[in-house]
Amino acid sequence: MTARGARRPGAARPPGVAPPRRAVRAAAIVVAAALAFAAAPTDSAAQSWRAHGAWVSGHVAGGAFGPEFRRPLGEEPPLPLPGTPGSGPVEVASRVWHLTGMLGVGVNGAPPAESGRGVEPLLYAHAGLLYRTGRSIPGYVGVVAAAYVPAGAVGPAAYVEAADVAALQLGAMHGHGAWHGHAALSLSMRFLRDVLGG
Amino acid sequence: MADETLLIPGTQATSLADQNGNIVYNAVRVSLGLQKDELGGRPPDEWQRLLSIAQDPGSWRPSRTSLEPGTEIVPHAVVGTPYDRMMSFAEPWPYDWRMDMRYNAQLLLEHMRANKPANGRFNLIGHSQGGLVIILASKLTFDLNEFSRLVARVVLVGSPLAGTMRAAEALIWGSEGLGEDNVKAARGMGLTWPALYQMLPTWRAVVRADEAPESDDRQLLQRGGWPGPFGEGVQDDLLLRARETADLLAGPFSRLGSGTMAMAIMGKRQMTPFEVVRDGDRLPEAHSYARNQQGDDLVPYLGTLGWGGAGFGDRVVALTGRSEKHAFLCNDPDALDLTRRFLRADAPPPPTAPPVRAPESSFHGVTPVALDVPPPGGPGAPGVPT
B234-237, Cβ contacts within 8 angstroms, sequence gap of 24 or more: B234/B171, B234/B191, B235/B191, B235/B192, B235/B197, B237/B55, B237/B57
Pairwise pLDDT comparison (B73 vs A14), residue with the higher score: B73
Asked whether the predicted pLDDT for residue A107 surpasses 70, the reply is yes
Query: At residue A187, what are phi and psi to the nearest 5 degrees?
Result: -125, 145
B58: helix, strand or coil: coil
Confirm if B145 and B369 have CB atoms less than 8 A apart.
Answer: no
Q: Which residues pair with A54 in a beta bridge?
A: A62, A184
Dihedral of alpha carbons B317, B321, B325, B331, sign: negative
Rounded Cα gap, residues B129 and B25, in angstroms: 17
Query: B75-109 pLDDT, tens per residue?
Result: 999 999 999 999 999 999 999 999 999 999 999 99
Buried b (16+ CB within 10 A) or exposed e, B279-310: eeeebeeeeebbeebbbbbbbbbebbbebbee
Suggest the residue from A92, A161, A165 to mutate for an interface test with chain B (most B CBs closer than 10 A): A92
Residues whose CB is less than 8 angstroms from the CB of residue B58 and which lie 6 or more positions away in sequence, other chains included: none
Q: What is the mean pLDDT of residues B239-266?
A: 94
Confirm if B269 and B242 have CB atoms less than 8 A apart.
Answer: no
pLDDT category at A9 given cuts 50, 70, 90 is very low
Confirm if B132 and B139 have CB atoms less than 8 A apart.
Answer: no
Of A105-119, B40-54, B256-270, B341-355, the poorest mean pLDDT is in A105-119
Confirm if A58 and A180 have CB atoms less than 8 A apart.
Answer: yes
Rounded Cα gap, residues B218 and B282, in angstroms: 12
Query: B293-351 pLDDT, tens per residue?
Result: 999 999 999 999 998 887 899 999 999 888 888 999 999 999 999 999 999 999 999 98
Task: Decide if B334 and A95 are in contact by the 8 Å CB cutoff.
Answer: yes
Q: Which residues pair with A131 in a beta bridge?
A: A97, A141
Confirm if B159 and B132 have CB atoms less than 8 A apart.
Answer: yes
Say which of B318, B328, B340 has its CB closest to residue A43: B340
Q: In the A/B pair of chains, how many CB contacts fall below 8 A?
A: 136
Q: What is the DSSP letter of B331?
A: G
Say which of B84, B337, B348 has its CB closest to residue A76: B337
Alpha helices in B32-175 (DSSP H): 47-51, 101-114, 129-139, 146-150, 165-172
B155: helix, strand or coil: strand
Tell me the chain A residues in contact with residue B84 when contact means C-beta distances shorter than 8 Å.
Answer: 48, 164-165, 188, 190-191
Task: Decide if B340 and A79 are in contact by the 8 Å CB cutoff.
Answer: no
Query: B142-172 pLDDT, tens per residue?
Result: 888 999 999 999 999 999 999 999 999 999 9
Q: How far is B236 from chain A (nearest CA, A)?
A: 36
pLDDT of residue B283: 87
CA of residue A88 relative to chain centroid, distance: 41
Q: Which residues of A touch B (CB under 8 A)?
A: 43-44, 46-48, 70, 72, 76-77, 79-82, 86-96, 98, 132-134, 138, 163-165, 188-191, 193-195, 197-198
Dihedral of alpha carbons B256, B257, B263, B267, sign: positive
pLDDT of residue B32: 86
Confirm if B163 and B133 have CB atoms less than 8 A apart.
Answer: no
Say which of A72, A89, A191 has its CB closest to residue B317: A89
pLDDT of residue A14: 47
Q: What is the DSSP letter of B46?
A: G
B38 touches chain A (CB under 8 A): no
pLDDT of residue A113: 54
Dihedral of alpha carbons B99, B137, B165, B275, sign: positive
Rounded Cα gap, residues B338 and B361, in angstroms: 35
Say which of B318, B324, B333 has its CB closest to residue A91: B318
Q: What is the mean pLDDT of residues A164-176?
A: 92
pLDDT of residue A135: 67
Task: Decide if A191 and B318 are in contact by the 8 Å CB cutoff.
Answer: no
DSSP per residue, B246-308: HHHHSSTTTTS-TT-EEEEEEE-SEEEEEEEE-BTTB--SSS--SEEEEESSSSBHHHHHHHH
Taking residue A83's Cβ as centre, other Cβ atoms within 10 Å add up to 6
Angle at A182 between CA A179 and CA A187, to 5 degrees: 160
pLDDT of residue A148: 93
pLDDT of residue B290: 78
Asked whether the predicted pLDDT for residue B11 surpasses 80, the reply is yes
Confirm if B131 and B108 have CB atoms less than 8 A apart.
Answer: no
Rounded Cα gap, residues B292 and B276, in angstroms: 9
Suggest the residue from B12, B84, B157, B342 to mutate for an interface test with chain A (most A CBs closer than 10 A): B84
Rounded Cα gap, residues B71 and B377, in angstroms: 37
pLDDT of residue B262: 95
Angle at B28 between CA B24 and CA B34, to 5 degrees: 70
Query: A20-60 pLDDT, tens per residue?
Result: 567 677 777 877 777 776 666 556 678 899 999 999 998 88
Task: Decide if B333 and A48 are in contact by the 8 Å CB cutoff.
Answer: no
Q: How many helices (H) and strands (E) does chain A have?
A: 3, 9
Asked whether the predicted pLDDT for residue B384 surpasses 80, the reply is no
Residues whose CB is less than 8 angstroms from the CB of residue A196 and which lie 6 or more positions away in sequence, other chains included: none
Q: What is the DSSP letter of B64?
A: E
Environment class of B245 (CB within 10 Å of its CB; exposed 0-12, middle 13-18, buried 19+): buried
Rounded Cα gap, residues B373 and B369, in angstroms: 10
B302 touches chain A (CB under 8 A): no
Suggest the residue from B22, B25, B81 to mutate for an interface test with chain A (most A CBs closer than 10 A): B81
Q: Nearest-CA neighbor of B265 among B201, B197, B324, B198? A: B324
Asked whether the predicted pLDDT for residue A11 surpasses 50, the reply is no
Q: What is the mean pLDDT of chain B?
A: 89
Rounded Cα gap, residues B29 and A195, in angstroms: 6
pLDDT of residue A164: 84
Asked whether the predicted pLDDT for residue A2 surpasses 80, the reply is no
Task: Decide if B320 and A46 are in contact by the 8 Å CB cutoff.
Answer: no
ipTM of model: 0.88
Asked whether the predicted pLDDT for residue A87 surpasses 80, the reply is no
pLDDT of residue A26: 77
B2: helix, strand or coil: coil
Of B139-143, B187-191, B242-246, the poorest mean pLDDT is in B139-143
Element (H or E) spanning A192, and its range? helix A189-195
Element (H or E) spanning A52, and its range? strand A46-56
Q: pTM (2 decimals)?
A: 0.90
pLDDT of residue A27: 76
Tell me the chain B residues in contact with residue A141 when contact means C-beta distances shorter than 8 Å.
Answer: none
Confirm if A162 and A33 have CB atoms less than 8 A apart.
Answer: no
Q: What is the mean pLDDT of residues B209-216?
A: 92
Q: How many helices (H) and strands (E) does chain B have?
A: 12, 14
Q: What is the mean pLDDT of residues B37-60?
A: 86
pLDDT of residue B1: 55
pLDDT category at B381 given cuts 50, 70, 90 is very low
Rounded Cα gap, residues B221 and B168, in angstroms: 10
Q: Nearest-CA neighbor of B248 among B163, B335, B123? A: B163
CA of residue A41 relative to chain centroid, distance: 20
Suggest the residue from A190, A193, A196 to mutate for an interface test with chain B (most B CBs closer than 10 A): A190
DSSP per residue, B315-329: TEEEE-TTPPPGGGG
pLDDT of residue A198: 64
Q: What is the mean pLDDT of chain A?
A: 82
Dihedral of alpha carbons B87, B89, B91, B97, sign: negative
